[in-house]
């Protein structure tokens, strides 16, 4: 069974620090990876996607992918209290329906 | 931007009622999904559809059915609502290829 694993947290970081969120996946055929941010009581919002090994940067966010080790990470630089949310990692396995498998999410708390 | 609209933000229904949750998207995406999200259990896939009139069971289809008569609309039906179906229901859409999903704003359903 294809699985995506995340530490549920909470991960607590001080304002201005780098938050590092990690995700591992079980299947080597995974092709695409996504990070979603979900505020309490709201729906998930796509913030990053990554398809190739290495780093991808978008503003304060950097996604890192290592297919050999089967992990994906999200770094948030200069963390702000508004970044406090649950972050969901997802992997696409391919096939009809463009199926994503989601991890359980990591709750991030950024303290002022 | 893709818009995914769920008909109700909050819904309260009685045990045994038949409940319809509607999801409409405006970007011609092939794939549509229904999830429920409960604390500690993450996102669980109920049903998905990759074409009009096509439907596939997800991980927890029991007690639910779906309908997709038009490409833009995907309905989730609770045949006879029960209290254990109290949850946040999330609709998502995606197009074929290496793309993430876009989620609707969610419907928080309470069955009393």
pLDDT at residue B1, as a whole number:
66
pLDDT at A36 over 70: yes
* Of the candidate ranges A18-22, A26-30, B49-53, B78-82, the one whose mean pLDDT is the lowest: A26-30
- Classify burial at B108, counting beta carbons within 10 Å of its beta carbon; exposed 0-12, middle 13-18, buried 19 or more: middle
Residues of B with CB under 8 A from a CB of A: 30-31, 42-43, 48, 50, 56, 90, 94-106
Nearest to A89 by CA among A1, A30, A23: A23
The label of the residue with tokens 């007690």 reads: B63
- Alpha-carbon gap, residue B109 to B84, rounded angstroms: 11
pLDDT at residue A31, as a whole number:
78
Compute the count of residue pairs across chains A and B with CB atoms less than 8 Å apart.
Answer: 51
B103–A96 CB contact, under 8 Å:
no
Band of residue B81 on the pLDDT scale cut at 50, 70, 90:
very high
Band of residue A95 on the pLDDT scale cut at 50, 70, 90:
low
A31–B104 CB contact, under 8 Å:
no
| Least CB–CB distance from B103: residue in A43, A98, A105 | A43
* Distance, CA of A5 to chain centre: 10
- Alpha-carbon gap, residue B72 to B81, rounded angstroms: 25
pLDDT at A93 over 80: no
pLDDT at B96 over 80: no
Higher-confidence position of B36 and A92? B36
Residues of B whose CB is below 8 A from A97: 31, 48, 50, 56
pLDDT at residue B95, as a whole number:
84
Pair A5, A91: CB distance under 8 Å: no
* Distance, CA of B93 to chain centre: 10
Closest Cα in chain B, distance from residue A20 (Å): 20
- Alpha-carbon gap, residue A46 to B100, rounded angstroms: 7
- In Å, how far are A99, A100, B21, B82 from B30, measured between CA atoms? 12, 15, 19, 31
For residue B4, the chain A residue with the least C-alpha distance is A43
Higher-confidence position of A27 and A22? A22
Pair B55, B68: CB distance under 8 Å: yes
pLDDT at residue B43, as a whole number:
94
- Residue A48 backbone phi and psi in degrees, to 5: -150, 150
Band of residue A97 on the pLDDT scale cut at 50, 70, 90:
low
pLDDT at B62 over 80: yes
Alpha helices per DSSP H over B13-111: none
- Alpha-carbon gap, residue A90 to A105, rounded angstroms: 9
- Residue B99 backbone phi and psi in degrees, to 5: -125, 155
Return mean pLDDT, chain A: 92
Band of residue B110 on the pLDDT scale cut at 50, 70, 90:
very high
B56–A90 CB contact, under 8 Å:
no
The label of the residue with tokens 């941010």 reads: A37
């Amino acid at each position: 069974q294809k699985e995506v694993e995340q530490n549920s947290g909470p991960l607590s970081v001080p304002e201005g620090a780098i938050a590092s969120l990690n995700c591992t996946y079980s299947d080597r055929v995974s092709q695409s990876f996504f990070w979603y941010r979900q505020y309490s009581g709201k729906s998930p919002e796509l913030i990053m996607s990554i398809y190739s090994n290495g780093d991808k940067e978008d503003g304060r966010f950097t996604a890192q992918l290592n297919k050999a080790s089967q992990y994906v990470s999200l770094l948030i630089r200069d963390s702000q209290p508004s970044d406090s949310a649950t972050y969901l990692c997802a992997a696409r396995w391919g096939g009809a329906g463009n199926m994503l498998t989601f991890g359980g999410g990591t709750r991030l708390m950024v303290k002022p | 931007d893709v818009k995914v609209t769920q008909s109700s933000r909050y819904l309260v229904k009685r045990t045994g009622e038949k409940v319809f949750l509607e999801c409409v998207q405006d970007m011609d995406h092939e794939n549509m999904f229904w999830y429920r999200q409960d604390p500690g259990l993450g996102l669980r896939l109920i049903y998905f559809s990759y074409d009009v009139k096509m439907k596939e069971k997800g991980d927890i289809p029991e007690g639910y059915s779906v309908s997709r008569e038009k490409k833009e609309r995907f309905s989730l039906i609770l045949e006879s609502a029960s209290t254990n179906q109290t949850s946040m229901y999330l609709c998502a859409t995606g197009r074929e290829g290496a793309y993430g999903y876009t989620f609707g704003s969610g419907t928080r359903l309470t069955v009393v």
